[in-house]
Amino acid sequence: MSRPVVVDSVAALRAQIRDWRHDGLSVAMVPTMGALHDGHISLVRMALAKADRCVVSIFVNPAQFAPTEDLDKYPRQLAADLDRLAEANAHLAFTPTVGEMYPAGFATRISVGGPSSGLESDFRPTFFEGVATVVAKLFLQASPDFAVFGEKDYQQLCVVRQLCRDLDLPVGIIGAPTVRDAHGLAMSSRNAYLNETELKIARQFNVILRKAAAALAAGGSEAAITGNAVSALAEVGFDKIDYVQARESLTLAPWRNDHSGRLLAAAWLGKTRLIDNIEIPSS
């Protein structure tokens, strides 16, 4: 087991990738904000199966946090992250500072329409602008052949795909299935914020969504089913439910039952906001 090469500047990142390209090697990238868990490692393994070399970026991106959100409290554990990347055989960790990514005078933002509409944007209106901007920068910095994103952040995955289509970015976007614990809870860095009582409640999230997705596939009323899901989440102990909505899988337009669908939800336990999504089975 060898630790990945660690670079914190764009120049060093490009130099390493230039050497790989000279040797005819393909490159896959896994953008992360660190606090790596088994879900992230599954993305690294998928990247390694797709390309000769894997770059993992670790950067807590301030552009996607609103002033009221948990930027300062977001977990940062670089040494542990590098240990995990070594175990997964990642080749390079890109760990830029905020100043490296957003130097003095930085004034550009990227806004992606389409799949960014509603859902997360209703509650975090600047979020996807921050995501699109940093992802575009990472792709231009690393020039990967592929990039792997988890389906747990399903709307983000759709936004990144739209970004690459619209700006002709030559990066193949791979969506990786959500990794869950033994109880079905989606792996997330924010799970570390949950106490034991909240964790038990959180593990009902996917159970309720799966029942709702099955009911939608069976042809039930969308409004009634999503409303019942909201009520069920409140009954098991979630403090606030931001949304439970059915959308088309590819465009995230409002769902029609003759199209593939996704049921997406966001809810709060105390000060922790969790998101999840479930495929609506084909009827």
SS (H, E, C) 233-278: HHHHCCCEEEEEEEEECCCCCECCCCCCEEEEEEEEECCEEEEEEE
Smallest Cα–Cα separation from 214: which of 257, 183, 181? 257
The stretch 117-124 carries a mean pLDDT of 97
Q: What are phi and psi of 55, to 5 degrees?
A: -105, 130
Per the annotation, where are the binding residues?
A: 33-40, 64, 150-153, 156, 179, 187-190
Cα 204 to Cα 194: distance, rounded to the nearest angstrom: 14
Per the annotation, where are the binding residues for (R)-pantoate?
A: 64, 156
pLDDT of residue 283: 65
The stretch 229-254 carries a mean pLDDT of 97
Q: What are phi and psi of 74, to 5 degrees?
A: -60, 130
Q: Which of 40, 91, 183, 259 is catalytic?
A: 40
pLDDT of residue 30: 98
Is position 259 annotated as part of the catalytic site?
Answer: no
- Does the pLDDT value for residue 11 go beyond 70? yes
Per cent of the chain over pLDDT 90 is 93
178: left (phi over 0), alpha (psi -120 to 50) or beta: beta
Domains along the chain with CATH numbers: 5-176 (3.40.50.620), 189-280 (3.30.1300.10)
If you average pLDDT over every residue of the chain, what do you get?
96
Per the annotation, where are the binding residues for beta-alanine?
A: 64
Cα 165 to Cα 29: distance, rounded to the nearest angstrom: 18
Distance in Å from the first CA to the final CA of the chain: 47
pLDDT tens column, 161-215: 999 999 999 999 999 999 999 999 999 999 999 999 999 999 999 999 999 999 9
- Does the pLDDT value for residue 8 go beyond 70? yes
One-letter amino acid at 253 equals: A
- Does the pLDDT value for residue 48 go beyond 70? yes
- Does the pLDDT value for residue 257 go beyond 90? no
Per the annotation, where are the binding residues for ATP?
A: 33-40, 150-153, 179, 187-190
